[in-house]
Amino acid sequence: MFLKPVALSEYEIFAKYHFEKAHKQIAAGVVESIYDLFEGTTWYIQKVLNQLFATFDSISKDDVDRAVRQIILQNEEAYKDTLFQLTLRQRDLLVAIGREGKATQITGMAFVKRYHLSSASSVQKAAQILVDKQLVTQQQGVYEVYDKFLAEWIRTQLLCLQHEELPLSVEGVLKKVSF
């Protein structure tokens, strides 16, 4: 069953009411930036709004990035554990999908070569396991890391390594990042 996202205007009314009730200010455009960032997904919008509410009295758009970083840091150990529980091929594919954001044609040669994955058949098998473990979603041929905070953490870890020679596999990331 597919539920349409709640309208942005509803979130804006909700947030403004609760922030003002607590004598906190939320700048125009903050809710919209959260809504756009998480494509209207209620759980993520609520999580970020709750983090903003708990952390700041006057919220600007810049605070959204800070709140997301705080949420990611709070969950970092769980993200590391998740990666360690996967096989190398599953981790490599999860990282590749995370880097792409929305990955298509993951068994195609271009994708397999770009991310130094072993083969199309191993990608297909790993993808099915990641979907079964609910780490990745697949809709109409588009693969995406299910937890948007985990996906952002993966991208952040890789960006931290860009000043060095960027390893394309998680094995390389695991060696360089203090997991």
Residue 159 has pLDDT above 70, yes or no: no
156 pLDDT band (50/70/90 cuts)? confident
Comparing 160 with 114, the larger pLDDT belongs to 114
Q: Which of 41-45, 66-70, 119-123, 169-173 has the lowest mean pLDDT?
A: 169-173
Q: What is the mean pLDDT of residues 20-31?
A: 96
Q: Which helix (H) or strand (E) holds 87?
A: none
CA distance readout (Å), 19 to 11, 57, 94, 151: 12, 9, 37, 29
Supply φ then ψ for residue 153, to 5 degrees.
-60, -45
- At residue 3, the pLDDT reads 72
> If you average pLDDT over every residue of the chain, what do you get?
89
Residue with tokens 């959260």: 34
Per-residue pLDDT reduced to its tens digit, 102-112: 999 999 999 99
In contact, 117 and 93? CB cutoff 8 Å: yes
In contact, 114 and 105? CB cutoff 8 Å: no
Per-residue pLDDT reduced to its tens digit, 70-85: 999 999 999 999 999 9
